Amino acid sequence: MSLNIDLPQLNDFEPLNLQALMSRAELMNRSDRKFFFPKEQLGEILAACVKDYSILEINNQRCFEYETEYYDTPNLFFYHEHHRGKSNRYKVRRRSYGSTGEEFIEVKHKVNKGNTIKLRVVANNLEQAKPLIEQEIGQWLTQQLTSQLLIKYWRITLLHKEKPEKVTLDMQLTCELSKRENGEPYQPQHKDFQGLVVAEVKATRLQQNTFQSIMKLRGHRETSLSKYCLGCLAIYPKIKQNRFKQTYKHILSIEHA
């Protein structure tokens, strides 16, 4: 998947290496906020960030390809927990980093206070990470997990120069599903969001957050819709979506503008 957007603004940032990013803002226990906006506004928003943020650079690259595979039960238990607005919920995923070639199985736990705790192990399948997953969500639920969704995208990562505040900007999302029944492959289902940027600010505390101020000045409101839930809405058109209906309608209007 090639990057099909020209972003000269990336060259204006001070570079930051991966080791420095991890030492300052690994943020395995954090609060986060998400925003959706049109890809055409990305250059302007990057320009507004240059003064306050550095950019992750690895091997002279500043934009990296990611792949995330989400696991859920056959009836999409994790999705429906999010849709119900449950404050204590989980996500299980495999993430592949194009910048380093690393792969992790991760368990994300959204706790009652609103923070997200992320645990992970170096692995590329559920079996390798089974002890961690069972510890977090229990044996019964772990046994039901299967691959439900694959999302690929390009990511820019910014880090505030003074605060432990990380911003990720994801673009060119591609959502895919290919399941099997009785050994026979389904026709793969596929949905692209080529005109959309998903921005997420992550910090230990979100008060006086710089990126939120930048987005507010441009009229962009925060949302809690995750990329996993967005992919489920796109791939499973009959899925329950009342809680997300307005946000998804807004995303589709960006995509079709």
96-154: pLDDT as tens digits: 987 788 899 999 998 866 678 889 999 999 999 999 999 999 999 999 999 999 999 99
Domain assignment of residue 1, yes or no: no
Cα torsion for 145, 239, 232, 169, to the nearest 10°?
A: -130
Domain that includes residue 215, residue range: 26-255
Q: Which of 42-46, 111-115, 157-161, 200-204 has the weakest average pLDDT?
A: 111-115
What is the b/e burial string over 115-130, where b = at least 16 CB atoms within 10 angstroms of the residue's CB? ebebbbeebeebeebb
CB contact at 8 A, 149 and 71: no
Domain assignment of residue 11, yes or no: no
- CATH value at residue 231: 3.20.100.30
- Planar angle of CA 60, 174, 22, nearest 5 degrees: 40
For the chain, how many structural domains are there in total?
1
Q: How far is CA 58 from CA 13, 19, 54, 62, 100, in A?
A: 14, 10, 13, 7, 8
Q: CB under 8 Å to 192, separation ≥6 — which residues?
A: 172, 173, 174, 175
Domain assignment of residue 42, yes or no: yes
Burial of 196 (0-12, 13-18, 19+ CB in 10 A): buried
Domain assignment of residue 80, yes or no: yes
Query: What pTM does this model have?
Result: 0.91
Domain assignment of residue 2, yes or no: no
Domain assignment of residue 17, yes or no: no
What tokens were used for 234? Answer: 């796109």
For residues 65-75, give the mean pLDDT: 94
Say what the pLDDT of residue 27 is.
54
Domain assignment of residue 61, yes or no: yes
Q: Which residues pair with 58 in a beta bridge?
A: 61
How do residues 74-95 score in pLDDT, each as one tens digit?
999 999 999 998 888 999 999 9
Domain assignment of residue 249, yes or no: yes
How do residues 29-61 score in pLDDT, each as one tens digit?
657 889 999 999 999 999 999 999 999 999 999
Cα torsion for 137, 138, 143, 148, to the nearest 10°?
A: -10
